[in-house]
Amino acid sequence: MIFLNDMPGRIPLIGERFPEMEVQTTRGRFRLPDHFRGKWFVLFSHPADFTPVCTTEFYAFSRRYEDFKGLSTELIGLSVDGTWSHIKWTEWIKEKLNMEVPFPIIADPRGLISEMLGLLHGQSATHTVRAVFIVDPEGMIRSILYYPQELGRNVDEILRMVKGLQVSDKFEAAMPANWPNNELIGERIIVPPASTVQEASERIKQYECYDWWFCHKESPSEDAEMARGFLERASKII
């Protein structure tokens, strides 16, 4: 792997540009984040190849690959194993579980990328935790999730997060808890807080509000229905 720029001596944060790097993957050499310019992408790390929990996650991500594509979102995996191990593992998943792994996997046998992205925690100095980076079309990090090694990820929740961030960008709003099934405002979205006294006094006239600092508005029902579908699938075995 080749690092392209001098990197800061700390892990990247939400709201920063994803670090520029060149990586070797099972689908060739990529330059991140530019390889996915114009699209969202989700980078997710796993502790090691040929492990049971990771295998269930790869099956789940692969099964939902078209859902991510429908959100103009690409997937890319990472672990501290080499390319040959990644290839053999994906062959095993196809042969034994009848599931093609359609996304690339980054090889990081020396752990340099994992260390730079903050994926090596106190749990293990050699295996990555289950991290998730959601990156927007401009290469900006929009969300970072960390799961412990022993807990598999909820892939449908990651889909809901991507959809929610896209809706937030489109309508300049925030998503309430459990969106689109919020207990207070349902599938409606939250208007950003007022920044001036005049704007605060006008808010209640413009929107439905609990108070001037807590106002909400409608968004297209199809966006909410898509997100709701992800949640419903997550709540049951299909």
Higher pLDDT, residue 115 or 76: 76
What pTM, to 2 d.p., does this model score? Answer: 0.91
Domain boundary among 119, 152, 185: 152
Reported confidence tier of residue 127, pLDDT bands at 50, 70, 90: low
What is the predicted pLDDT for the residue at 110?
83
Is 54 an active-site residue? yes
Q: Is residue 157 situated within a structural domain?
A: no
Pair 131, 181 in one domain: no
| C-alpha span between 64 and 49 (Å, rounded) | 20
What is the predicted pLDDT for the residue at 151?
86
Which of 169, 152, 147 has the alpha carbon at shortest distance from 58? 152
Q: Pick the catalytic residue from 42, 54, 135, 161.
A: 54
| C-alpha span between 50 and 12 (Å, rounded) | 28
Which of 30, 54, 29 has the alpha carbon at shortest distance from 44? 54
Pair 178, 224 in one domain: yes
Residues contacting 206, CB < 8 A, separation 6+: 215
Work out how many domains the chain is built from and give that number: 2
Whether 60 and 155 have beta carbons less than 8 Å apart is answered as yes
Q: What is the extent of the structural domain holding 170?
A: 165-234
Pair 97, 213 in one domain: no
Task: Say if residue 20's pLDDT is above 90.
Answer: yes
- Residue-wise pLDDT tens digits, 83-126: 999 999 999 999 999 999 999 999 988 888 888 887 765 555 55
Q: Is residue 217 situated within a structural domain?
A: yes
Pair 217, 105 in one domain: no
